[in-house]
Chain A
Amino acid sequence: MTMLVLQILILGLLGAAIVLWALYFPYPSPLIRRWLPARKRWPEAQIRMWLKDGRFQRSFLRHFYSDPERMASPGNSILAPADGLVTSADMRGEIRYLVIALSFWDMHVQRSPVSGRVLKVESHGVDFMDGEGREFAFLGEKACPVQKRLVVATNAGQVAVRLITSLAARRIETWVCEGEEIERGQRIGRILLGSTVVLELPAATKLLVRTGDRVWAGQTAVAEGLTAP
């Protein structure tokens, strides 16, 4: 009798695991999530579904709000302000715009690329749009995406960071204010959910990354050669 109970218990547990699998399919069952990388643990289609109904899995939110410590690369190079993929590094006028696209699975805390004093924290834009980093949409006069622009003055010139929202991300938090002295790699703000961060650099700086490279906020050196005019 004991053996039968044990067998039924084991089969019951296995049955429960299969029922969980069926309930969550095509998304991963909670039982196997821990063994999957973030992108496969919470597929994009599932996140977009959560965005529609406004309810998120707690484990995803924990991952999303994670804010790990970062070790800045040594030297005075300019650091990446955000985690993500470099999608363009084009010039317009005398400014080079390094566009970093963040995905749902990236850490969303932004960090200062340089040490210096915060000159301005400006709000721009009225619209929420996807592809906000393409075709310099963030420079538009009227319908440009909602964004915050932080200008940091260093001994060797100015650098600006734009925190831009997308259709999915509708909130930006900035954690520094005008006049504040900030350190290289210091946390400066956060965009909630997928979004874009643009780093504005003087034309004379030399880029250390290319389109398609993956960068980490406060850790990856993206440019060097910020020199006094």
Chain B
Amino acid sequence: MNGFFWTCGHLGWGIFALAVFTGLWWLLTDLYWRLNRIKAGRLVATMATGWIVGAGLILLALYVATR
């Protein structure tokens, strides 16, 4: 888990990718909400599912790369 937060003098790719993905996902959620006025509950469920899948893929990629 060391390489996740910090590696070779810079932020670990895991935390960096998660931070960038989370920020972009947040902004994308806002854009999606403005373009498709859907119910808040449905929006939260959809975007949370998307975030979990994205974060899972990042962690999986990191695991495969550092195995």
**Which residues of A approach B to under 8 Å, CB–CB?**
1, 3-4, 7, 10-11, 14-15, 17-18, 21, 28-29, 31-32, 35-36, 40
Interface centre among A7, A11, A21, A28 (most CB of B within 10 A): A7
Residues of A close to B10: CB separation below 8 A: 1, 3-4, 7
Query: Which of B29-37, B39-47, B49-57, B58-66 is the contact stretch?
Result: B29-37
Asked if B20 and A21 make an inter-chain contact with CB atoms under 8 angstroms apart, the answer reads no
B16 proximal to A (CB < 8 A)? yes
- Of all A-B residue pairs in the complex, the 9 with the closest CB atoms, nearest first, are A4-B10, A14-B23, A3-B10, A7-B11, A32-B31, A40-B34, A7-B16, A7-B10, A18-B23
Chain A residues with CB under 8 Å of B9's CB are 1, 3-4
Check A35 against B11 for contact (C-beta < 8 Å): no
On chain B, which size bracket covers the interface?
A: 10 to 19
Q: Is B48 part of the binding interface, using a Cβ–Cβ cutoff of 8 Å?
A: no
B27 adjacent to A21 (CB under 8 Å): yes
Residues of A within 8 A of B8 (CB): 3
| Most chain A Cβ neighbours within 10 Å, of B8, B9, B23, B26 | B23
Q: Which of A1, A15, A17, A32 contacts B34 (CB 8 A)?
A: A32
B34 near A14: Cβ-Cβ < 8 Å: no
A28 to chain B, nearest CB (A): 6
User: Could you say which residues of chain B place their CB within 8 Å of the CB of A14?
Assistant: 19-20, 23-24
Q: A21 to B30, Cβ gap below 8 A?
A: yes
B31 lies within 8 A of A18 (CB): no
> Which B residue's beta carbon lies closest to that of A18?
B23
Question: Could you tell me if A17 and B27 are in contact, using CB atoms closer than 8 angstroms?
Answer: yes
Min CB gap A203→B, angstroms: 42
For residue A40, which residues in chain B have a CB less than 8 angstroms away from its CB? 34-35
Could you show 7 A-B contacts with beta carbons less than 8 Å apart? A14-B20, A17-B23, A21-B27, A32-B27, A36-B31, A36-B34, A40-B35
Q: Closest residue to A25 on the B side, CB-wise? A: B30
CA of A40 to CA of B24 in the docked complex: distance in angstroms?
A: 20
B11 CB contact (under 8 Å) in A4, A17, A28, A29: A4
